[in-house]
Structure 1
Amino acid sequence: MGRRAGSAVMPLHGGRVPAWLGQRMTKLGAVITEAIILEYGRDEFLRRLAHPFWFQSFGAVMGMDWHSSGITTSVLGALKRGLAPLSAELGIHVCGGRGKHSRATPGELVAVGERVGLDGADLARTSRLVAKVDSAALQDGYDLYLHGFVVADDGRWVVVQQGMNADRRQARRYHWHSEGLESFVDAPHAAIEGHATGVIVNLAHRRAAASRDRQLDLLATIGPDGITKVIMEASDRERPDPVPDSQALLPHLIMPEHNDVRSENVVERRLHGALAAAAERGPKDFAELLLVRGIGARTVRALAMVAEVVHGAPCRFSDPARFSLAHGGKDRHPFPVPTKVYDQTIGVMKSAVMKAKLGETEQLAAIRRLDEQARRLETSATGPSLAAHILEERARSHEYGGRSVFGWEPSAQTDLCNVPRTRS
């Protein structure tokens, strides 16, 4: 069966992912997935997807807006595109998506079942039931508009779905995991991410078992009209104080409204640890790589953050904004996407994964050592403030191939007053 694993609440953002970023997200998302499965197996990759903090960090390291609702759509879309050609090799299948793609999920699951020998009809039923729990049994003010279903060849799965509250301009993400789920209606969630929006009706909780049974009795004895009358009478009475919900113990991520990355959004000792590890391990572990034209210390710094996404423990992802410092953001927060660095990161990760598949694990091990060294150094390392670090990145953005939805970043010598700023 399955359970909810956690949740997230984010500002509701519109817009789209430009093709130049979407293509890179597809490549980086796929190669990070390959690295995790090589190192830890498919089950661990599914556990990561079911953790809201890791999921947000995963999207941030890929250059998506670090705090917005768009991370959910873009990450699932990137994985669906990037893992499709690898599905037979990895045994991972990504179904569903946003809007019409969400409604196509059951059919996609039936097709997966036919290919790999799973009960596709049962998976489709699970997909519909999970969606119903978060849209009908849990009435929290968010209307579902996205449903992603990731299933492995052995039948284990993760569901990531998202609802919106248009009045509050917020989105809420729900994470489900098949591991450990005993019932779809007794506290099934692995995580829910989102702000409270007033009184929440949660019939998907074990405390609501008596209520569910009573509702069936009422339907059989007094019918729909009688139920409507009871509801009208009850609405005039004073509501009791809410009972504490055990679901609050699940991982619950709340993202701020502001676009810029601020010091309170980042654990700076972790940032300093990653920067120090890149400076110390880079020349030792990537000596040959650093001789390649264009690949230098900046790429190794990005690799240090990618390494943490691959190897970090759950507690390391309490500050997803930090991972946006690897490849920036499409809206120039914290800085424009350094496309040259991004491409080099993809190249290094692809090389490491390909060699590991052939039994040559040294390069993948070097990336792991970056993460290990960062954790060792974060208790003692010092470095520039977050503001200073971002200022330097913006100053060198043109050098790194900086790009955003507003276009390419101009050089420092360009008269900025004459540079048009239109979204692209």
Structure 2
Amino acid sequence: MRTGITNLPLHHGRCPPWLFEKMVELARAIVELLVLEEGAEGVLRRLSDPFWFQSLGCVLGFDWHSSGVTTTVCGALKEALRHREGELGLFVCGGKGTAGFKTPEEICRHAERYSLKVDPEKLVRASRLAAKIDQSALQDGYELYHHTFFFTSSGEWAVVQQGMNTERREARRYHWLSFACPDFAEEPHAAICSERREEFVLNLVARESRTARDLLPEIAREQPEKLVKWLSGLKEKVLDLPRRHQLWLSDLNPRRLKTVFLHTYERLPADFLSLLETPGIGAQGLRALSLIAELVYGTPLSYCDPARFAFAHGGKDGHPYPVDRVTMVHSIQVLSRAVERAKLGINDKREALRRLAHIFPDLP
């Protein structure tokens, strides 16, 4: 089971309306067939695999290496399942920009509309924690701007979200899966694959940061004046610190952080996840508390980046060749017929697809 991270170059421009329309149709046929074959949970497993997700984007006709594949494929999946969620037992919430902030509202609306036997608050918490961890607890230089939450009628879930590094014009996509996430606080990504590792990454959900995670809530319960005094003292001694700490400390203003520390002092977080869920606690607050833990108490932290492909119909920008509309329409028709015949118990098309997979086992 592979869930994790994908790095992509930032691309501007929009998906042509005619292509998005076909992407929606083809995505609907693919998802319906997968639900028949593997169930809704099987679709979640597929979406959480960065390699399979990337290949899906290629099959749907989008650029293989563009950052837009994340937002466009997620958008196509959401549109493809619209009004089919109850039948398939698979729901899609969130999206790019402000749409991502509507995820909690959409989760609760689906749960109420379809009378799902799930606790929507647990799903909302999973959505928020996944976003908070990749935005604040894993500080790799990418600001989240896309969050899509998939869940089933049984309460299992997957997350596909993306962050942006505007200086390097690169994006990074994060995949989550409930089956592979027994503990949000430690190694929540089952495995992480990437072509490049960032040089300085504060990773508070790494196994090596466990001692710090236990200590951070204790530090956060200290009086704000004491924490501000510690940070101010550390900044005065910046020349004595390793290079990475110069970079971290230069971004911190101890006096401005006093307001953040007041939130933690008033709420008295009991553990790391409670600290992470405290309103007002973001990347800078966690960074400040982490520095205090390491430099005042000698607590080890992880600064290692946790991060460690298929065309069928062409690509949007003509690479490696323009989208073949005729072939794409034919693929939609074949898959749609296979779904309809499968519903009637006529499975020869699916058996043919299975045989094809056995003949070419290396295909995603």
Aligned to 2:220: 219
Aligned to 1:385: none
Aligned to 1:197: 198
Q: Which amino acid aligns with 2:140?
A: D
SS at match of 1:8: strand
Q: Which amino acid aligns with 1:95?
A: C
Aligned to 1:374: 360
**CA shift for structure 1 position 242:** 8.9
The answer for unaligned runs of 5 or more in structure 2 is 245-299
Aligned to 1:159: 159
- 1:175–1:100 CA distance, 2 compared to 1 (3 A): same
Aligned counterparts of 1:239 and 1:22: Cα–Cα separation in 2? 47
Report 1:35-50 matches (<5 A): 35-50=33-48
Aligned to 1:79: 77
Aligned counterparts of 2:324 and 2:91: Cα–Cα separation in 1? 30
Aligned to 2:325: 339
- 1:206–1:226 CA distance, 2 compared to 1 (3 A): farther
- 1:230–1:182 CA distance, 2 compared to 1 (3 A): farther
Aligned to 1:207: 208
Task: State the superposition RMSD in angstroms.
Answer: 2.4
1:105 aligns with 2:106: no
Aligned to 1:135: 135
1:15 aligns with 2:1: no
SS at match of 1:64: coil
**CA shift for structure 1 position 43:** 2.0
Question: CA offsets per residue over residues 247-303 of structure 1, 9 Å max, x none?
Answer: 45xxx5xxxxxxxxxxxxxxxxxxxxxxxxxxxxxxxxxxxxxxxxxxxxxxxxxxx
Question: CA offsets per residue over residues 192-222 of structure 1, 9 Å max, x none?
Answer: 4654333101112232222233333333335
TM-score (norm 2): 0.77
Aligned counterparts of 2:355 and 2:231: Cα–Cα separation in 1? 63
Aligned to 2:49: 51
Question: CA offsets per residue over residues 46-82 of structure 1, 9 Å max, x none?
Answer: 1111111111001111100011111111111111000
1:137 touches 1:203 (CA, 8 Å); kept in 2?
A: yes
- 1:358–1:209 CA distance, 2 compared to 1 (3 A): same
SS at match of 2:181: coil
Report 1:16-415 matches (<5 A): 16-114=14-112, 115=114, 116-192=116-192, 195-221=196-222, 223=224, 224-229=227-232, 231-232=234-235, 235-236=238-239, 237-238=241-242, 247-248=306-307, 252=308, 320=309, 323-324=310-311, 326-375=312-361
**CA shift for structure 1 position 5:** 2.2
Q: How many residue pairs are counted as aligned between the two chains?
A: 302
- Amino-acid identity (%): 43
Aligned counterparts of 2:234 and 2:351: Cα–Cα separation in 1? 62
Aligned counterparts of 1:245 and 1:173: Cα–Cα separation in 2? 18
Q: Which amino acid aligns with 1:163?
A: G
SS at match of 1:85: coil
SS at match of 1:63: coil
**CA shift for structure 1 position 111:** 1.2
Aligned counterparts of 2:357 and 2:2: Cα–Cα separation in 1? 29
Q: Which amino acid aligns with 1:179?
A: F
**CA shift for structure 1 position 180:** 3.6
**CA shift for structure 1 position 45:** 1.5
Aligned counterparts of 2:193 and 2:106: Cα–Cα separation in 1? 26
SS at match of 2:118: coil
**CA shift for structure 1 position 375:** 3.9
Q: Which amino acid aligns with 1:76?
A: C
TM-score (norm 1): 0.67
- 1:143–1:19 CA distance, 2 compared to 1 (3 A): same
Q: Which amino acid aligns with 2:229?
A: G
- 1:231–1:123 CA distance, 2 compared to 1 (3 A): farther
SS at match of 2:91: strand
Q: Which amino acid aligns with 1:238?
A: P
Aligned counterparts of 1:190 and 1:212: Cα–Cα separation in 2? 19
Q: Which amino acid aligns with 1:96?
A: G
Aligned counterparts of 1:210 and 1:165: Cα–Cα separation in 2? 30
- 1:36–1:210 CA distance, 2 compared to 1 (3 A): same
Aligned counterparts of 1:136 and 1:243: Cα–Cα separation in 2? 14
Aligned counterparts of 1:121 and 1:208: Cα–Cα separation in 2? 28
2:202 touches 2:304 (CA, 8 Å); kept in 1?
A: no
SS at match of 1:328: coil
Q: Which amino acid aligns with 1:71?
A: V
The answer for unaligned runs of 5 or more in structure 1 is 253-319, 379-424
Aligned counterparts of 2:120 and 2:93: Cα–Cα separation in 1? 12
- 1:233–1:60 CA distance, 2 compared to 1 (3 A): farther
**CA shift for structure 1 position 246:** 9.4
Q: Which amino acid aligns with 2:162?
A: Q
SS at match of 2:346: coil
Q: Which amino acid aligns with 1:197?
A: E
**CA shift for structure 1 position 344:** 0.8
Q: Which amino acid aligns with 2:139?
A: Q
Aligned to 1:272: none
- 1:222–1:242 CA distance, 2 compared to 1 (3 A): closer
